[in-house]
Amino acid sequence: MSRMLENSLDPAPPRTSYQMAADASGVVSEPSKAPPQLEMVEMTKRFGAFTALDKVSLTLKPGTVHALLGENGAGKSTLVKCVMGFYQPTSGAVLIDGESRKIESPKDAHGCGLGMVYQHFTSVPAMTVAENLVLSRYENQQVINWKKEYAALEEFMARSPFKISLKAPVSQLAAGQKQKLEILKQLYLESKLLILDEPTSVLTPVEADEVLGLLRSEVVKGNLSILLITHKFREVQAFADEVTILRKGQLAGNGLVSDLSAEAMAAIMLGEVIKPSVVGSDSQLDYQLTETIDPDKTIDQTGHPLTLKKPVLAIKQIEAKGDNGVLAVRGVNLTVHAGEIVGIAGVSGNGQRELMEVLCGQREPLKGEVRVNDEVYTATREQMFRHQVYALPEEPLRNACMPNMSVAENMALRTFDRSPQALGGWWLNLKAMQRMAQGLVQAFSVKTPSVETPVSHLSGGNVQRTVLSRELSAETVSLLMAANPCFGLDFSAVDFIRGAITAARDRGVAVLLVSEDLDELLALSDRLLVMSEGKFVYESEMADVDLNLVGQRMAGH
Amino acid sequence: MSSSPLPNSPGSPGSPTPSGLSRAEAWRAPLESVLLPIGALLTALFIFGIFCAIAGANPFAVYASIYKAAFGGWSAWQNTLIRAAPLMLTALCTALPARLGLVIIGNEGALVMGGLGAMLVGLGLGTTLPPFAVQLAMGAAGMAAGGLWIMLAGALRHYRGVNETISSLLLNYIAIAFLNHLVEGPLRDSSFITKPSSAELNPANWLGTIPGTRIHFGLFYGLVVCVIAYILIQRTTFGFAARTTGGNIRAAKLAGLPVGKLTLAVCFLGGSAAGLAGMVEIAAVQKRINESLVSNYGYAGILVAFVSRHNPLATVLVAILLGGILASGGILQRSHNLPDATVLVFQGIVFLCVLYSDSLYGKLPWFRADAVSKATL
């Protein structure tokens, strides 16, 4: 699959071509000091009795990209938070150019030339790019001379690797541009050592390659060193020089990227010599198959091509406005049949989110009609039950969970008003709710202290598993709608979710999959559509997909 | 739903068992929600002491007086409970919508509208029905009037996106003006000259006192309604849907919950509790309707709701506490030469301290387990 990508979109050309591209595009590198060497020595961090980080050492050599790999909870975030001064390590030291430095706050870290780019955006949406850049400075100015600032900013923008309009309000930037702004902030602050926390998780593959490519060219020129936290092997192999792999808070391995295959890295990361594609597809999927298949209730898809053609979801001329009041979905038509996965690709911000929200009942459409099983569907609870519609929206904590309610209550969201969890339709049977939650916690390996713990106390991957267990454990599912279901998750979780989605398809579920990860769509979909500027601009059966054309359509050509 | 135990995947050994919740963790949250309000109350007492000292009174003597007037003996307890009864009910007007994520402060207006509705029905029915039936009808009318009043704020919120806090606050003034208009005009009993008032409710329909006490049956109403409200919110599917909507409206929509209907229904229920408080005040205390109905129980109810963190059972206790403070107003004037309004100063200080303490949840080091539990997962 990634081979297909390389052929078509050419995401990972040889490093020298980036160098050339950067030079050709007129990026002038200022004669500036080379980045210092960053060493973390035997870093240990304990929280109470729990050791989150156990004697981990890492050296970021000047002018290199160093990847930090590990599953969710492996200690990557703890390590960089110690370096950035958010946490104080229990023991261990941070050395800058061989000198021990005490870093007690992010401000101290900034003083050492360290800058971090977070997974989530930290810009003020209502302010312009220029205002956000000035705001990011650590000084406390009472008066800002905007004329002077603009002159300085324009000069900065001229030599920066990315170009963003200084006067554009951040709220109007696409996700890719926002991420670039986050990186620009650190360059503006003259951070020489950048820590990037999964910087590409909100970007399309094309955007991701562009951003990482341009950053790499800065590194090659000796202006920067980068510590790249990521889940994606492809990015490690394409952009990193060295890699450090953590597992359960311990150093699991490190070395030159050129010496390691993706399989080797996966094996070190997971602690087992298995291919990533096998991980996670064991007991959980058995659970799926053994517990949820009921031949009488699911559609028999063996040898009945006609039943496969049964349309489940039909969207007719849907139009919807975005949050900013501008028409975001401009009259789309789509039919999803039983037993197929229809993938919708597209650069973020082209109406996919709004379309998904309409289908999930979170947004009122302006025009058009949604039909499920040939009946008008307005996303009421009764219709969801009758047609067995389930959804995995993006950002589960924002879209699909009540953060302050317990894991059990979150898992019961679909079933709390049904027997056995509701007696007589109105009295909650808390015991039944708890029992179900305990079963789901086991079956989907949700790591939580108890089912009474508020779901916001769980890590991202486990929040996702909580939602997944709720949406995929119904006896019969006829329509599943998923948006970026694997966003920001570790390998075993990604594999588990993808396995669950394809297993659902094989059982005859109609699946609509909206994703910004083209790899994911290519791997899972039976039919691929591209959405651009609120319309579908490309549609093809998976066998006939022309990736060059997909890339062009995604880019709006 | 399946609950058959299945082996964990090899990728996740050692995941804690569901029962592996440590005792400290289990107690931390409840302890926090008890100790923080108590800390706020103590802080408020301290600040109020400074205020008293500046006003020329000995703070400790004032504290002692407040305690004596509020809880120092059966007579004091009765005074306290009489005042606590409407507070329990008005508090629900804020507490119930709060579970839905709305901040409603129209308690005073709902109480006034409830009192008006109850009075109109009471005067209209007179002695045509047995007293119990009249009281029932008055209660129903009070609840309907108060409920619809707050439902208006809920509807403005849901259909037009109007801020419910502002609209419910403004509805208070409209309700009070409406009351004044009626008692100075159409409802006025010209034989009663002390202040513009309606005619008196027929004594047969008065809400009696619990035998052997001066406490009227309103206390009983308050207790029962609070218990019902608690059960409704915590143990029914309706309450679950309301809490879900309050917890995350996007998730509620994803699950197809009727967010609009829930908003209207919960606002109605909250308003009807305050409306019932109006009925109780009319039928048990005031007997005729006039400006005295606007006696701050609504605003004090907001305070009760916030101190009790919108938990209807905690509301009962907090209402008794605040009822005690209100009951001590007279004694401060008589024994310490402090103005009658001093208790309102105290009430205001308590409110500010409680609101401030609300911002401390999860921030104080003694109650923090997050760092540990999050990292372990």
Cα–Cα dist B110/B276, whole Å: 9
Q: How many residues does chain B have?
A: 377
Residues spanned by the domain of A46: 38-124+191-270
Where do the domains of chain B lie?
58-208+218-353
- The pLDDT, as a whole number, for residue A11 is 40
- Closest to A407 (Cα-Cα) out of B65, B373, B141: B373
Q: Is residue A139 part of a domain?
A: no
The residue of chain A nearest to residue B7, with distances taken between CA atoms, is: A283
Torsion over CA of B135, B140, B146 and B150, rounded to 10 degrees? Answer: 160
Which class for A37: exposed (0-12), middle (13-18), buried (19 or more C-beta within 10 A)? Answer: middle
At A360-407, the pLDDT tens digits run: 999 999 999 999 999 999 999 999 999 999 999 988 888 999 999 999
Please name the amino acid found at residue A396.
Answer: P
Q: Where are the beta strands (DSSP E) in chain B?
A: none
Rg (chain B; Cα; Å):
23
- The pLDDT, as a whole number, for residue A295 is 38
- Are the beta carbons of A362 and B258 separated by less than 8 Å? no
Say whether both A258 and A291 belong to one domain. no
Highest mean pLDDT among A123-132, A134-143, A258-267: A123-132
User: Considering CB atoms only, which of A362, A430, A447 is closest to B253?
Assistant: A362
Which of helix, strand or coil describes residue A13?
coil
At A417-459, the pLDDT tens digits run: 988 899 888 999 999 999 999 999 998 888 888 899 899 888 7
- The pLDDT, as a whole number, for residue A177 is 81
Rg (chain A; Cα; Å):
24
- The pLDDT, as a whole number, for residue A271 is 65
**CA A67 vs CA A15, B199, B248: distances in Å:** 16, 83, 36
Q: Is residue A22 part of a domain?
A: no
Sign of CA pseudo-dihedral B251, B256, B259, B260: positive
Say whether both A109 and A205 belong to one domain. yes
In total, the C-beta contacts within 8 angstroms joining chain A to chain B are: 163
Strands A50-60 and A114-117: unpaired
Cα–Cα dist B264/B275, whole Å: 16
Phi/psi-derived region of residue A98, left when phi > 0, alpha when psi is between -120 and 50, beta in every other case: left
**CA A451 vs CA A464, B29, B50, B99: distances in Å:** 15, 15, 47, 21
b/e per residue B105-123 (b: at least 16 CB within 10 A): bbbbbbbbbbbbbbbbbbb
- The pLDDT, as a whole number, for residue B117 is 97
Which class for A116: exposed (0-12), middle (13-18), buried (19 or more C-beta within 10 A)? Answer: buried
CB A254 within 8 A of CB A59: no
H or E stretch covering A333: strand A327-337
Q: Is residue A32 part of a domain?
A: no
Cα–Cα dist A488/A490, whole Å: 7
Cα–Cα dist B348/B351, whole Å: 5
Please name the amino acid found at residue A222.
Answer: G
Q: Is residue A162 part of a domain?
A: no
- Are the beta carbons of B2 and A473 separated by less than 8 Å? yes
In the predicted model, residues of chain B with pLDDT beneath 70 are 1-26, 367-377
- Are the beta carbons of A447 and B16 separated by less than 8 Å? yes
Q: Is residue A210 part of a domain?
A: yes
Say whether both A363 and A290 belong to one domain. yes
Strands A250-256 and A242-247: antiparallel
**A333: phi then psi, degrees, rounded to nearest 5:** -120, 140
User: Considering CB atoms only, which of B1, B6, B240 is closest to A287?
Assistant: B6
Say whether both A439 and A533 belong to one domain. yes
Complex ipTM value: 0.82
- Chain B: give the shortest CA distance to residue A88, in Å: 13
Say whether both A214 and A287 belong to one domain. no
- This prediction has a pTM of 0.71
User: Considering CB atoms only, which of A283, A422, A451 is closest to B7?
Assistant: A283
Strands A479-483 and A389-392: parallel
- Chain B: give the shortest CA distance to residue A419, in Å: 10
Strands A65-69 and A225-230: parallel
CB A453 within 8 A of CB B373: yes
Please name the amino acid found at residue A1.
Answer: M
- The residues pairing with A483 across neighbouring beta strands, listed in sequence order, are A514
The residue of chain B nearest to residue A388, with distances taken between CA atoms, is: B255
Which class for A430: exposed (0-12), middle (13-18), buried (19 or more C-beta within 10 A)? Answer: middle
H or E stretch covering A194: strand A193-197
Which of helix, strand or coil describes residue B320?
helix
- Are the beta carbons of A417 and B241 separated by less than 8 Å? yes
User: Considering CB atoms only, which of B5, B243, B375 is closest to A405?
Assistant: B243
The two structure tokens encoding residue A339: 């037993």
Say whether both A347 and A201 belong to one domain. no
Cα–Cα dist B119/B197, whole Å: 11
Domain count, chain A: 2
Please name the amino acid found at residue A354.
Answer: E
- Chain B: give the shortest CA distance to residue A22, in Å: 41
The residue of chain B nearest to residue A286, with distances taken between CA atoms, is: B6
Say whether both A216 and A360 belong to one domain. no
The two structure tokens encoding residue A375: 């009946």
- The pLDDT, as a whole number, for residue A125 is 87
Mutation target vs A (from B1, B99, B374; most A CBs, 10 A cutoff) = B1
At A227-238, the pLDDT tens digits run: 998 877 778 888
Q: What is the DSSP letter of A41?
A: E
- Closest to B355 (Cα-Cα) out of B296, B286, B309: B309
% of chain A residues with pLDDT over 90: 34
Cα–Cα dist A220/A167, whole Å: 30
Say whether both A377 and A308 belong to one domain. yes
Q: Which residue has the higher pLDDT, B118 or A123?
A: B118
- The pLDDT, as a whole number, for residue B22 is 58
Which class for B188: exposed (0-12), middle (13-18), buried (19 or more C-beta within 10 A)? Answer: middle
Chain B partners within 8 Å of A382 (Cβ) = 256
- Are the beta carbons of B8 and A450 separated by less than 8 Å? no
Please name the amino acid found at residue A97.
Answer: D
- Chain B: give the shortest CA distance to residue A353, in Å: 13
Instruction: Looking at the structure, give the CATH architecture of the domain made up of residues B58-208+218-353.
Output: Orthogonal Bundle (1.10)
User: Considering CB atoms only, which of A417, A457, A492 is closest to B237?
Assistant: A417
The two structure tokens encoding residue B276: 């019932």
Question: A279 pLDDT exceeds 70?
Answer: no
- Chain B: give the shortest CA distance to residue A247, in Å: 11
Q: What is the DSSP letter of A62?
A: T
Say whether both A235 and A356 belong to one domain. no
Chain B partners within 8 Å of A74 (Cβ) = none
CB A382 within 8 A of CB A406: no
Say whether both A266 and A289 belong to one domain. no
- Chain B: give the shortest CA distance to residue A216, in Å: 32
**A546: phi then psi, degrees, rounded to nearest 5:** -105, 105
Q: Which residue has the higher pLDDT, B112 or A207?
A: B112
Q: Where are the beta strands (DSSP E) in A6-70?
A: 38-47, 50-60, 65-69
Domain of A468, CATH number, reads 3.40.50.300
**A270: phi then psi, degrees, rounded to nearest 5:** -90, -10
